[in-house]
Structure 1
């Protein structure tokens, strides 16, 4: 019986080739799009899930509030917090610390022969690292690998890079030219879905030798690194977190801080939530966004629903055409149940063919996803994943049931007598339902298009917005990593050599550059108002020509002079924070780090006020900033390149000349450079990826909807052949026929847009509130969506409409 149903389904599929092709292709494209989105969502939500104890591993973060205003919120905590938590909380059974090799970042210099290479993913950590996390150690003993000072565990790829095919166990690797570590283990390369990327782990107790007298394993006053705790299985994290305020009061100086109206807080976050739900300072990497994952999940559902609606629409539209077949089957004894099963079988066959084609599309497009600007869609080879095949099976069964049930119910419900007498007429409710389905498809497509336009409008707005400084044509060198007493002399000679190059206009140095997170901050007080609260400000050490180089605007005072030794510049936000009466009043006033009544504390005199500028992306508010003059500020060396009307003059030659001087003055130091504008725009990487993904799947949704519209319109025009023939016979011209048929296209498109506009306005207005600086909502993305869908729809149906309008009415009425 089942075999007969399948053969019957295949005959019906091959009998109507155009209809079947559109149906299968629409379903296949929809399923392929959904599977790709499922791959993306699966990857984003799988971060850190490979750890065996993931359900009871938490990262501790640290924040501070002053007078109810949050000063900062960071993943860095004090060195002694981990051991103290194990002592004070029975729920906490273990901890491990990850101290970035360069205090804030995990970058460090690794020496090979006489050359230095800057590597990322280098951390000092405790031996408990391997008992808390499930990173696989392929060689070495996890219980002892990091016990001794100057011991190291290296990743497989880094071992290959520095030792080739030799076994690195027992060999030495040198960090920062003067630190030699014995390799005691090899760790498997970190999975892509880990928020911590490990290349080299160094024993934590080595810091006591490196830092000397500054080392305090129980430090509770200075930032140290990332802290992870392991709790007893079943611990309620909310109840544990409620104990933190008292912990601060008892051990972290909370009582003294409270007298100053300062509140210090610790927070714990499950390790599986870090990637999507944590966006605070000093994250190990740029994290994903839960909202984007949620949006893309909805998009995946919508694309599949659009494809299924296509099938239902076309299947029910053909109901009258298949009525005679149904009448004959019922007349010879087929009951309603058997007919229902037959048409459900046809749905399963069609969906099986669509799934097979969709699988082929997913496999075919994988190599090109990076070129399409969607690298996150190809993070894994999904064809080798068990979950993918289970998902494929679920999609096939679900889509077969959802798309087949209604058409099968409608077809099986026809009365044989009415069918065979030719009295079965098109049902008005069915026609309205099909129009409703078309409206739904275009509403979904319009929403995706509007979202794409608004996202790229916001990105364009942030890129084009005036930043309060000039970052164009800036060529940035990472400063010398190896610093000694001759650095100032070498830097000045290097700078003078660069200024002699025809391609270089100006040069300056600083400890941070636009687009980089400021890693230095502290509390400042006004000397003229010692009773006022101290204020938390970020700091950037710069050379005296920094403001001129970046074209900062002075709104009061002046730039540094050659004789200024303790002068500082403030931005407007910092002036407001210190509550000066006005900008001019702030000039000449003195700020002090810490207690203003302590004569030993460093004092700084305000020389000038610069107009607020965006140190970081326009997603963030402008923070209070103090610029300190320092001749040793060479973490970054910035060069202004000479630009002509045709672009940069001999850029390649200029870079070669800069490299030549670099090797001459700073031999052995890695030559790392980038263009500032490109690096600054990297801050919008998450939004760009979201925009690209949405644009790709907007195209998929429109394509699926248009395929359905082509099939439905083709069938509708065929059904209206007699009507069109009568109209032409009564004098209706080609133009009138075109307008009549076009109205059937524009009407659902217009209705769909009017329905979706208020929804999109609400959703994307809410999305834009996540940006400190945002583009104003306007009507043009909505109008553009309407225009785009209309143009695509008319273009796709132009041939059918033209053919129908030019047809000979005699042929349509020949047999009447």
Structure 2
């Protein structure tokens, strides 16, 4: 107890350095706590799922040359085919996503509960509850989905729909999904661990889903899971591949492109984003990147602590010498220093907890969805205890070792502890350089990522996106979805404030409608798979898409006409644009299509993707046109009035549908949402790393100024300027930062080149980027140390010379 009182008195006496140590460690611990929560959550998915080693999702690979693209949905016919032809498989479980416009529940008090667009409704079979380890609260899992119009609810949905009532009262109650009435026949407890199975309401597979013989279209709503033995995998895949080849027409078969079935283990599903089919999944590279950031920040916080602690040792030599003279042994001195480190670590943890909670509240977008639904108290507690022990020993052992190197005879002569180095390698300087190498790599990375995002947002896309709003077509039966959208378009065009109106797919989005075009020549057929966009005749005019050859679309082009871009023209083998115009190609319907025009290769997806072949199909079928595009006046001051006109006409034609619009340039920015989140994450990590580095510099400059108090006084008496004193105290550290910047350049160049490889269109990394970020880092460091340096430089030299 006496030793702890002594430690607290000492920490209070040196409270400025105690504060620097605590705040540095607190920032490191807070970041590690947040990252551990995220990483622990992501790696917990399906971990507690019984029998997960034998559970697989049936998925497909589309292979074209050396490129592979995956998809998690299958055809509706696959589940029934596997069930009938592979009886030895333990379980065959189709899991189909269902959509209803709304659900409603009649309450006993006469009130009606209604929910629009309910989520996580799936149709499946009774075996699903054998595959997934739900705990049954009420009902029989063998009969709960035996008949049509039955529904099984999770406990969370029961509470949402019916409130806090007993399970027995819910069995037999009815829920109306759209116009169909379902009876609650079972209740299961929500899974108590993160799972790739996100369903909350389960209904039986319909007869239509069971008997559907569709082998042609892969649908993300149709998912199939199987539980099988390892020796059954190869035969199942061979059987599926053979059946698919048997069912598809010869015109679909292409030696350059193949579709192959595969099996995705449940243990890998959460990190396989290409097979997610809308379910939440994670990018393992980003998760490992977070781990790396956490390790670096904690390492830098520890280096800060070690630097400040070792720099203070010359000023503790008298204390150490007296204690050793009075009989203190080396082990006791080490123990005392480790106790001091432990106390500072505990205080830092106390501060880190509200810091991490504050971060989660203010930056909730960084946290994975539903992370708060699962208890992580035990793993976090173990992590915190382990972190404290690691911090105490790693940050305390080296300073404790140096304390025991203090020479008592030198202390009594007031010669200090000497240089703290091993051979000719100065440990403290090495750690400062390491800190700022990491900091500079992050600074360069943050700048290049921001530059790439700015380039993607501001690059010329090949069409006009300015002053365009998009409005989705109403799709619900009670929202006047049967109204002809061209009537609304005609009403808008009567207003002179509205420049243009069009229906169809927007030019740039990450959705993909694909099909083949076939060119028949004397030498055979040329088949090209490409993107298709279904639009009306005013689409090209509204978006100012350039016509390179032929003519612009017309209303009569809804029959036997197609417009293609230059990439499609090249892929089909036409020598130039003029040659392609007027030629005949075939689509999926085998009907001839005449190429009426060639358009420019505008960007169809984000800049991660190359420009691809494209067909524009002119149509008036509303089920193929997913929304309106409206061109507003060029002057933003007129937008409010124009939007009022659009809303008024909307309410005339679609009174039951909400009027919701979005500016198209905002939609394009949303394509880079994940990149922006990554940029924000790097920016935040950069700020934290810079703060940690600057905290260490402030402490070291303060100690340097204290150590050279008399020298500074003498220099001032002899005429040194304030600026000269500041440079005297700062130059050694600025040299180390300059060295760190030079070391960081090749590391940052390599790392950012690897990152930019993910983009088909990207910026070039240029020399001035390294110069600019290097100067910025030096200026930040100079500002960090300037206050303490200035304070020492303007101190009274007479007082300095009187100081013992």
Q: Given the two structures, how large is their TM-score scaled by the length of structure 2?
A: 0.88
C-alpha separation between the residues in 2 aligned to 1:161 and 1:512? Answer: 37
What does residue 12 of structure 1 align with?
10
What does residue 124 of structure 1 align with?
123
Contact 1:503 1:649 in 2 (8 A): no
> Unaligned stretches of 5+ in structure 2?
105-111
**TM-aligned CA distance change 1:503 to 1:98, over 3 Å:** farther
Map 1:736-815 onto structure 2 (within 5 A): 736-814=724-802
1:542 maps onto 2:535 in alignment: yes
**TM-aligned CA distance change 1:677 to 1:63, over 3 Å:** same
C-alpha separation between the residues in 2 aligned to 1:453 and 1:547? Answer: 37
What does residue 292 of structure 1 align with?
286
C-alpha separation between the residues in 2 aligned to 1:123 and 1:304? Answer: 44
**TM-aligned CA distance change 1:115 to 1:554, over 3 Å:** farther
Q: 1:621 aligns with which of 610, 634, 642?
A: 610
What does residue 61 of structure 2 align with?
63
Map 1:180-195 onto structure 2 (within 5 A): 180-185=181-186, 194-195=195-196
Contact 2:407 2:417 in 1 (8 A): no
**TM-aligned CA distance change 1:812 to 1:488, over 3 Å:** closer
What does residue 732 of structure 1 align with?
720
SS of residue matched to 1:538: strand
Worse overlay, 640-649 or 795-804: 640-649
SS of residue matched to 2:94: strand
SS of residue matched to 1:313: helix
**TM-aligned CA distance change 1:455 to 1:93, over 3 Å:** farther
C-alpha separation between the residues in 1 aligned to 2:467 and 2:127? Answer: 47
SS of residue matched to 2:529: strand
SS of residue matched to 1:481: coil
Cα deviation digits, residues 361-406 of structure 1 (max 9, x gap): 2234432223xx5344994389962211111111111111100000
Map 1:148-163 onto structure 2 (within 5 A): 148-153=147-152
SS of residue matched to 2:671: helix
Map 1:311-322 onto structure 2 (within 5 A): 311-322=305-316
1:653 maps onto 2:644 in alignment: yes
> Unaligned stretches of 5+ in structure 1?
102-106, 209-214, 595-599
Q: 2:595 aligns with which of 595, 606, 622?
A: 606
In the TM superposition, residue 183 of structure 1 has moved relative to its aligned partner by: 4.2
**TM-aligned CA distance change 1:258 to 1:574, over 3 Å:** closer
C-alpha separation between the residues in 2 aligned to 1:451 and 1:369? Answer: 21
SS of residue matched to 2:315: coil
What does residue 211 of structure 1 align with?
none
**TM-aligned CA distance change 1:501 to 1:95, over 3 Å:** farther
Q: 1:471 aligns with which of 465, 478, 482?
A: 465
SS of residue matched to 1:649: helix
Contact 2:504 2:539 in 1 (8 A): yes
C-alpha separation between the residues in 1 aligned to 2:567 and 2:22? Answer: 60
What does residue 278 of structure 1 align with?
273
What does residue 212 of structure 1 align with?
none
What does residue 108 of structure 2 align with?
none
What does residue 485 of structure 2 align with?
491
1:147 maps onto 2:139 in alignment: no
In the TM superposition, residue 409 of structure 1 has moved relative to its aligned partner by: 0.7
Q: 2:688 aligns with which of 700, 716, 725?
A: 700
**TM-aligned CA distance change 1:604 to 1:130, over 3 Å:** farther
What does residue 78 of structure 2 align with?
81
**TM-aligned CA distance change 1:755 to 1:523, over 3 Å:** same
In the TM superposition, residue 91 of structure 1 has moved relative to its aligned partner by: 8.7
**TM-aligned CA distance change 1:144 to 1:579, over 3 Å:** farther
C-alpha separation between the residues in 2 aligned to 1:513 and 1:50? Answer: 44
Contact 2:429 2:736 in 1 (8 A): yes
Cα deviation digits, residues 461-506 of structure 1 (max 9, x gap): 111122222233332222132579x978732222222334566432
Q: 1:422 aligns with which of 414, 430, 435?
A: 414
What does residue 208 of structure 2 align with?
207
Contact 2:194 2:374 in 1 (8 A): no
1:93 maps onto 2:90 in alignment: yes
How many residues are treated as equivalent by the alignment?
Answer: 784
What does residue 245 of structure 2 align with?
253
Contact 1:59 1:226 in 2 (8 A): no
Q: Given the two structures, how large is their TM-score scaled by the length of structure 1?
A: 0.87
Contact 1:172 1:181 in 2 (8 A): yes
1:331 maps onto 2:325 in alignment: yes
C-alpha separation between the residues in 2 aligned to 1:499 and 1:392? Answer: 64
Contact 2:103 2:118 in 1 (8 A): no
C-alpha separation between the residues in 1 aligned to 2:581 and 2:354? Answer: 69
1:30 maps onto 2:28 in alignment: yes
SS of residue matched to 2:484: helix
What does residue 109 of structure 2 align with?
none
In the TM superposition, residue 38 of structure 1 has moved relative to its aligned partner by: 1.9
SS of residue matched to 2:555: coil
SS of residue matched to 1:338: helix
What does residue 369 of structure 1 align with?
363
In the TM superposition, residue 763 of structure 1 has moved relative to its aligned partner by: 0.9
C-alpha separation between the residues in 1 aligned to 2:658 and 2:135? Answer: 31
In the TM superposition, residue 429 of structure 1 has moved relative to its aligned partner by: 1.9
In the TM superposition, residue 254 of structure 1 has moved relative to its aligned partner by: 6.9
Contact 2:149 2:181 in 1 (8 A): yes
